[in-house]
Structure 1
Amino acid sequence: MFLRAKMNGVSVSEVPIKNFLGKRCRMLCSFGTFGYVLALILVLSSAFLGCCGDDDGDSSMVSVPLGFEISGFDRTKNWVSKNGVFAFGFLEKYGGDDVDGFVVGVRYNLGDQEDVNVPVWSVGGGVRVSGNSTFRLAMDGRLELIENHSGIVVWSSNTSTLGVQKASLLDSGNLVLLDDDNKVVWGSFSSPINTLLPGQSLHFPQNLRAPSTQSVSSYYSLEIRRTGELALVWEHNVTYWRSHFGSSASVEEARFESTGVLGLYGDSSEAVWFVTSKDFGDPSVTLRHLRIDQDGNLRMYSWNDEVRSWKVGWQAVINQCNVFGSCGLYGICGYNTSGPTCNCLYTDSLDSGTSGSAVDLGSSGCKKMVDLGNCRLHTSMMVMKQTVLYGLYPPLDVNMILSEEACKEYCTNDTSCVAATSKNDGSGVCTIKRTSFVSGYTDPSVPSVSFLKVCQVPLAVAARAANHRYNGESVSLPSSRLAGGESRTRLIEGVGIIVLMTVSIVLGVEGIVLWVMFKRRKIETRLTRLRKDGHMNPHCTGVVRVTFEEIKDLTDEFAVRLGPSVFKGTLPNRIPVVAKILSGTVVPEKEFRLAVSTLGAMHHRNLASLRGFCYEPEHKLLIYEFVPNGSLDKWLLDLNKDPTKWSWHQRLNIALEVARALAYLHLECPQCIPHGNLKLENVLLGESFSVKLTDFGLQTLMSNESASSSESPSEKDIHMLGEMLLQIVTCQREVLMESPQEILDELSRKETPPVGSEEDMKALERVVRIAFWCMQTQPFLRPSISEVLKVLEGTLSVDNPPSDFVFRHESMTDSEAVA
């Protein structure tokens, strides 16, 4: 048990004091009640001395000892730097009022206004946790963020071997870990998130990523490339701003200075490129930071103490509309008197001559463009002057040299063309877009005309719109002069027929529109339910049922294939999901829905959440959350070419997270739910390469297999986990070596994986040994998942497996073979 003195909610006892107390308190407590009183006095007086002292001679830091903790239950208590400028703790409303959970990190401490106390660094790149969480400096020297209800370590600094004795929040905003000699062995400055503070640097291949919007990862990042160039990029596809310097220059780092300078510096410490804030060198400015914002722009901020707010002193992209995809899909960025705004590119197939209403900059509130293949009549071209359109997937854009009229004509006749932009800058470039994922910007100074292909307005509607302007041109119906009674009669009859036809067509069209609107609203309502609380609240147990037609809509007719039966989809608010087709599944609807309900109630940070399902006679699908970095096999087997690509600690962490997910399924659910199909392809990698298991529980919950097998489903899981552990260690699909020592010798010979210390070597040996135990041909000899987890965490030792054990697939019976 710890005895910790606290002042202002923060542990202030120092490491030398803690070491002294360890011996003295045990001695005093042996004297009974009086001894306990003396021990308490010793603790309090030592803490007072530690608090009022010089922090080991360094007046720029506030230190906390091993065992220090901050709880999410009391977010009013923060760890504040000595100068009072920075605070560390649980950050509320980070990313918006409608975002659940908390981010833990360093923020400014400039008053009561949340908009001035902007975060400058966050644990795990902004990972969210519940209020029932704790951040601590563990006794082995690791910083850890723990979800208390599950005991899961959400994030760790992995510094247990560095001799850490205390942590400090420096006046610079750098959170550091120090050893006995007050030497910094780890610091938050070395792992920037979206902000650089004065004195902080970027080195290849580091980057800054814009803050996420709600739970969707940002598409924008600032990269420092191998060449030393700084670049703002969208989704690794588009560079929309870059630094420019001589090609002969050698760049070591990008550094932000307290004077308001962002520079690229070579090995001689001379700047080869730099930009400055407009208040550069102003001595009255004491606080600055550089940040890539949610809108994708890079800005320098200066603190104005008089008005108590942050002011922009420089931004990389002067015209915000030049930030690629500023207004998202189907949006057009423009300017009005108040600044940049977004308008929708397209709203309704029957009103193609007008743009949509304004939406917030960077939002995705615009409707999807109409499917041109479903036009009732032919298509026409909407003309948009002083406008540039681009596809969000640039490889699908094609440049040609054509005149403006020829550019329009080419797109009109090309069935694959969705839009085109003709540049009137003398280049004669015509850009053809063959993707419906279109965005753009407009400005009076832009020498371009764009053409958007839309469904042609029906004649009856056009007649009703006579003498109105359409696409900038007057539209009117031809008339003829009729004379005589017969002519008058024919005219009246003709007008009557036209009126009758017009009314019939209008009523028919309105009926169709109302039906389409009703169906679309029904789809959007259902999909809104699919994304709402279920995506934002990790404890929501609701799984939404959708139709196959709705799934076709959100996957754009299954356009993006992620696997043999897995397709990427997008909800109306651009949250990505995955639709998995369950081919060959024959199970009654009641059992299917019971299974889905069970799986939907499972919530663990290492499980891909189930969001919805479809059950129809011919179609059975599941909808999961989208995990951005793909499956483990694509990354792991590629390491065989370069085993140094991932460190041993990264691979061990992946193995740990897989085991934790399996432990949750086996031990923490109301009933044991074996995974049933544990393989590399079902281990997905999220942000920072965190693990998300998918495809769990399906085979067991919906299986008609006989229970006569010699091993239970959970025992099969352990066997499959053993195979996976060896695959993670060796970076090979098939591992045919017959003993742990043989594998260790082979790894040592190939230097795969490279380990950095004796402790790492012991951990590697533990992983290999427990893997062989997991693959014992006799199921009763296999360890439980809790034992496997303890071995991987290093809290339980493991002996060599029996010498007569042979690891060969062909030695197993059919019932023991891995699925």
Structure 2
Amino acid sequence: METRDAMWLMLYVFFLILSLLSQPSMAVDTIFVNDSISGDKTIVSSKEIFKLGFFTPGKSSSSSSSSSKYYIGIWYNKVSDQTVVWVANRDTPISNPSTSVLKFLNGNLVLLNESSFPVWSTNISSKPFKSLQATIQDDGNFVLKDGSSNSSKDSEPLWQSFDFPTDTWLPGSKLGRNDITKQTQHLTSWKNPEDPGSGIFSLELDPNGTSAYFIMWNRTEQYWSSGPWVDNMFSLVPEMRLNYIYNFSFVTANNESYFTYSMYNSSVISRFVMDVSGQAKQFTWLESSKQWNLFWGQPRQQCEVYALCGAFGSCTENSSPICSCVEGFEPKSNLEWDLKEYSAGCRRKTKLKCGNSVSNGDADRFLLMRYMKLPDLSESVAVGNGGDCESLCLENCSCVAYSFQNGQCEIWSGDLLDLRQLSQSDSGARPLYLKLAASEFSSRKKNTGTIIGVAVGSAVGLVIVLAVLVFLVMRRRRIVGKGKTVEGSLVAFEYRDLVNATKNFSHKLGGGGFGSVFKGSLADSTIVAVKKLESVSQGEKQFRTEVSTIGTIQHVNLIRLRGFCSEGSKKLLVYDYMPNGSLDSHIFHVKNPNNVLEWKTRYQIALGTARGLAYLHEKCRECIVHCDIKPENILLDAQFCPKVADFGLAKLFGREFSRVLTTMRGTRGYLAPEWISGVAITAKADVFSYGMMLFEFVSGRRNSEQSEDGTIKFFPSLVANTITQEGDILNLLDPKLQGNVDIEELTKVCRVACWCIQDEEVQRPSMSNIVQILEGVLEVNKPPMPRSLLAFSDSHEHLVFFTESSSSSSSNQNSKTNSSTPSSQTKSNTSTRSS
């Protein structure tokens, strides 16, 4: 009995070992000629960076569903949010990975579906090879080589996935053109987030031979260009000028031209994607927040993507959803629209009655759509007036819309593409008359006149006449008061328009030395913030020039300037409205414990603010020093994305700017010592102010506070002491957070803040260095104690150098010190003064 039990135990152990050996191994990165991939089997690159196997979009590779579509793809192995970077059979999915197989067949790597039918192949030459192998590499490239070569590791690949990109462009790969055949590689978007099939948006190098890249709609319509490669950057991508993460190269050699990029820090995970939104986007992975961070994207405005909403779909910026069908139409596929795939567009609810006479009550009619960006492919017709233009379109069965303005008649046939809803103030806004069936119009007013007496009818007629007169007067006022475009989308408003928009400046949002800010609503119901500037002494021409310059600066972390008003002494700026207000209201004035700004959000706000300032300092044509960084000037949109406000205003106030700063409540606590000592101001003054603001991110209080016994506590001193003496850093945290913080991030923020407030400008990091540190690209060393804090530690006297009377004492702080700089401070940033 015991012998039989021992035998069964041995058999059990044998089969257990056999089953373990048959399981896919995470260490295997190669498919050999007799191997295959099926079911949940995968291969992983040698450093376990990328994985290849079957997947279904939106689910893990191991999930199974009989109704799902499956694909062979490559995705990041250690990124928690499964992100696919390459798909083999993107347009020919399989339904059952367990009965499908990726294997070598007749010299090629072939994917056979559940019916053993080939749905994808490497399609290389049929030349026989003694041994083939396919390896997934740590750069994300899937490479097919002749394994019989003595140096197969270094031999040229027979086929590689980098030559056939789908929607993602990885570091080290190239996207180019054969200069002999003019054939180009393409990045092509997915159809939608749940379908990796080939979408309608693509990126390619100009097939005509220039060094510019184009984003195309349907491979026919170009709607964005990078501009040619000049002086180590693309001329229309100024963000490349002072890049600090990517190493870019454009190469023309061996009958090919291509662009490629690599990472200065190989540990940073980055990808370039032709997104389903029709925008080209560069992402970096932030492990601290477990999410992809948008580093760069073009076109900036979603509605600049050509025909994003399909036929008879209209795009409206900053709306949700961004696409809608025009009146009288409905989505062709509600399912696709739910997935934000709008390319199928819209269809008519009611067919037209083309051919009916105008006198017929069922005859087609026209719907006026105001302030539209007119669709493309119109036909200009010479007619005498708007009535003739309307009649021409009505009698033409193929005409679907017309527009008549300034004596110009344009008609459209077929589908209307690239419709955009604009605001009244946009220079390109035009009226469009859309042909609809009569039944689409309300008929509630029909036949009511027969039951109304003559006297009542006369009264109604009089009211109508008066209403028409009022309408004409108001319309004339609107036409007279319409803003004029200065540059791009920047609009010059008339003062009375802004008086009406703000209801005579009745809803005040805040104020300071620059002036007061009021909430307003434009004619198209767009909510804006209107700032009334005070004591601007510049002339009209210079003011318009400076404002126009500010208006061209766009970044996701900078507040958008919509327009301005300049009428004599009346100087106003019109900005996007930020529903979550300024940062100070969320840090210092929190009454409800449920509204406490959590640490993760604070960290992202700190990072976003740093990105915005880095853009102003290093990526604009001229360095712009903000000069007034503080929580009141960091605004938050609906998703708590930070927007740096009031940038560029230093140039508007000129010599008066120092007076403005000293009269603004709360600003003195953020001033760098060079402001008081009288030396030239550089971008490092903003770095100092940013560091002072970081302390408040941590503590949730103003940096200087008077305690109950009358003494003044200065929080930066406490942080510097804790950091340099390696004390308990949790004691520095805002008590409202109840200890819910990432210790590594907290330490990083405190160290960065201490580096930012160093006495000498050269010791402070640049904003781009700070971005790298907060993103985890660079490490930051323990900072030295600033001498200004060391000399006055634990005493209220250290506040002296922030006051106007302390210039003599602070000027003595300009002597050199031997303190070490942070590891990220490899180069000194000597930006020029902007004000």
The answer to whether TM tops 0.5 is no
TM-score (norm 2): 0.44
TM-score (norm 1): 0.44
